[in-house]
Structure 1
Amino acid sequence: MDQRPRLDDVAARVGVSTASVSLVLRGAPGPSAETRRRVLEAAAELGYRADRTASLLARRRRHLLGVMLDIRSQFHAELVEEIQAEADRVGYEIVLSTLTRHRDEDRAVETLLDFRCEALLLIGPDAADDRLAALAAQVPVVAIGRRVAAGDVDVVRSADQVGVSEALDHLIGLGHRHIALVDGGRGVVAAARRRGYRDGMRRAGLADEIRIVPGDHTEEGGIRAGRRLAAASDRPTAVVASNDRCAVGLMDAFLRGGLDVPGQISVVGYDDSTLARLAHIDLTTINQDPAAQASHAVLAAVQRLDEGRKQRLEIVLNPRLVVRGSTAAVS
């Protein structure tokens, strides 16, 4: 049995991750001077020697993480900023491939593969589980923001049903019963939030009040839904939007239709994007902790690449409600 000291033995001695030890031993940027000193001392004390074969293979590595994002989503942009910071910390670079009106997921992923990215971090992918599983058989894949039930895909996501439940609990606590949801469309993330809305309304004894209005994850989708709701004779007193962009569109339609937010109708978004924090928007919304999602996603990829982890990983983070000025007690 091979009793030679391993990378994780050095990491355990110092009390840092194996990724940090790997960075120090290959002279990559990231760890502090103190961490470097302690790692090198521990390696010497333990008699650790890097595997020459592994070192030769490592020299051929590109240390590139491919990230797919929707260029139209402010939340995706914030998440990428956090991913870049975390990748810098562990000595990796990122390559971005965008989704647009004219560029779908297949093309975005193919671009990342063409760049020979060692792992893919896909933000909110809508591809079927079996498609993602097939991709993960070629290269490590981390799906950020959605559940994946098949294959060897690592998952880092927010508990969407918990987030929608927090939004409903907040509105119900303000006396609202006629609460509608503006749907996010056909995507997997939108489906999870739709499911959370239905479940939350039923738990609150408001099954008869369930009302789902067609929409999507854009301002235009929110505007269309807002016009429809503003013109309805049975207008709800509160609306949960599937994301912040949709919520901003709703508020725009309500303002143009002469409805006061939150005096006549309350609005809750989802994402807590920088847009939601602007003073003239002041949107009550659900924060998904993009920094934590980014950290876990990069770590999941690095564990696959640097540490040889084989088992599938799923990290589920609890979102939190951020109350601002777009919600008030029912009048």
Structure 2
Amino acid sequence: MSDQEARRPTINDVARRAGVSKSLVSLVMRGAPQVSDARREAVLDAARQLGYRPNTVARSLVEGHTRTIGVVVSDLRNPWYVDILDGLRRTLKANGLRVLIGGGQLDHKVDPGVAEAFLDLRVEGLCVIGTLPYDEALAEAMKTVPSVVTSSHSYELPYVDSVVNDDEQGTRIATEYLLNLGHKRIAHIGGGTDGVAEARRRGYEGAMRAHGLAHFIQVEPCDYDETSGYAAASALLRGQNQPTAIIALNDLAGVGALSAADDAGLAVPADLSIIGYDNTPLAAVSHLSLSSVDPSSVEIGELAAIRLQARLRGDAGSAPETGSRDLIRPALVVRKSTAAPRADKEVP
């Protein structure tokens, strides 16, 4: 193959093939509306024949815009964050913006290189999804471009928009539901130190105290994964004050609790009711059928995209030094993992 044959086709090659000017090809590649359908199709057909791809990096340098948003995701294995990401991406894409995704943690610590890499790539905005520990480098990076955080209380900074679930209200709703079913020995697996975990613990404890059941409060530490959920639920089920219901930090921990109940020989929900949080697709799997608090994850992502685009446009009310906060009210989705306690397990 000769050098001429191997070289990458250029905009000039497309123009010659289509029989149009270079400037017209440029207009078509930018999606400009002032091009007739016939000419647009001629240019696109020539580009397909030649295998031409626009040099987006060069174009962004000329235009001063990359039309790209960097998204730092706390944990790409957590389906809750993926649901938020889905809503964010679809909304941004519909408005001509691309998304670059980076994992926010490395060895359980914030990866400082992710935000730095995004800024090197000249992203026009940043979004943080999930419960990342506070990191000064990331916080500083969010000062340099329009930024928004979703479902994280660690980065609710004065200059950043945030779209967060009312996590405290969510576990309060779950606890109230179990209380109305007749449960009193209700436990919570979670209680971590990050903002989301703290808020979810407060909601549970507040509801228990409001009903005069502070002496029944049990919080067993666990993280946002199935393994720690299993360990925490197993510890509760081995204890002297075995609960009749467990509210998990999230769905993954809730699945761990389901496994712990099964290994302990307990039937769900006859012997033990379990509620998760995040209402991920995992909770709806038929053989799990986990009741779960729905934080409207996709809607959170969509609203975060709207807030970010308003900052990019410089809309009124989106001043760089003033961040807005949207608190999204959750709702409980009841499935087969919850029921009234057995008569012989009720507490007078």
Taking structure 1 as the reference length, the TM-score comes to 0.79
- What is the deviation of 1:228? 0.9
> Residue 155 of structure 1: SS of its match in structure 2?
strand
- Aligned CA RMSD, in angstroms, stands at 2.2
Q: Distance in 2 between matches of 1:223 and 1:184?
A: 15
Greater CA drift, 250-259 or 56-65 = 56-65
Task: Indicate which of 181, 194, 208 corresponds to 1:187.
Answer: 194
> Residue 180 of structure 1: SS of its match in structure 2?
strand
Q: Distance in 2 between matches of 1:27 and 1:205?
A: 63
Instruction: Summarize the Cα distance change of 1:111–1:252 in structure 2 as closer, same or farther, 3 Å threshold.
Output: farther
Instruction: Summarize the Cα distance change of 1:57–1:315 in structure 2 as closer, same or farther, 3 Å threshold.
Output: farther
Indicate yes or no: 2:79 matched with 1:93. Answer: no
> Residue 163 of structure 2: SS of its match in structure 1?
strand
Q: Deviations over 1:206-233 (max 9, x none)?
A: 1121110011100001111122122122
Which one has the largest radius of gyration? 2
1:66 is matched with which residue?
A: 70
Question: Structure 1 unaligned runs (5+)?
Answer: 1-25, 30-55
Q: Distance in 1 between matches of 2:117 and 2:227?
A: 29
Q: List 4+ stretches of structure 1 deviating above 6 A.
A: none
Q: Deviations over 1:154-211 (max 9, x none)?
A: 1001111111111011100100011111015332211111122222221222112111
2:16 is matched with which residue?
A: none
Instruction: Summarize the Cα distance change of 1:176–1:144 in structure 2 as closer, same or farther, 3 Å threshold.
Output: same
Aligned length: 280
Conservation of the 8 A alpha-carbon contact between 2:84 and 2:299: no
Q: Deviations over 1:270-326 (max 9, x none)?
A: 000000000011000011112211111011111111235313211111011000000
1:213 is matched with which residue?
A: 220
Instruction: Summarize the Cα distance change of 1:151–1:133 in structure 2 as closer, same or farther, 3 Å threshold.
Output: farther
Task: Indicate which of 113, 118, 122 corresponds to 1:116.
Answer: 122
Q: Distance in 2 between matches of 1:58 and 1:299?
A: 26
Residue type of the alignment partner of 2:86: E
Residue type of the alignment partner of 1:123: I
> Residue 169 of structure 2: SS of its match in structure 1?
helix
Residue type of the alignment partner of 2:77: R
Indicate yes or no: 2:179 matched with 1:172. Answer: yes
Q: Distance in 1 between matches of 2:179 and 2:242?
A: 16
Conservation of the 8 A alpha-carbon contact between 1:133 and 1:152: no
Question: Structure 2 unaligned runs (5+)?
Answer: 1-29, 34-59, 343-348
- What is the deviation of 1:28? 6.9
Q: Deviations over 1:123-150 (max 9, x none)?
A: 1243338766533322222110133554
Q: Distance in 1 between matches of 2:32 and 2:333?
A: 39
Q: Distance in 1 between matches of 2:261 and 2:192?
A: 21
- What is the deviation of 1:60? 1.2
Matches for 1:307-326 after TM superposition, within 5 Å: 307-308=314-315, 309-310=318-319, 311-326=322-337
Conservation of the 8 A alpha-carbon contact between 1:158 and 1:288: yes
> Residue 137 of structure 1: SS of its match in structure 2?
helix
1:298 is matched with which residue?
A: 305
Q: Distance in 2 between matches of 1:167 and 1:131?
A: 37
Q: Distance in 2 between matches of 1:209 and 1:298?
A: 42
Greater CA drift, 56-65 or 292-301 = 56-65
Q: Deviations over 1:29-76 (max 9, x none)?
A: 9xxxxxxxxxxxxxxxxxxxxxxxxxx999211111111111120111
Percent sequence identity over matched residues? 32
Task: Indicate which of 83, 90, 93 corresponds to 1:78.
Answer: 83
Residue type of the alignment partner of 2:83: E
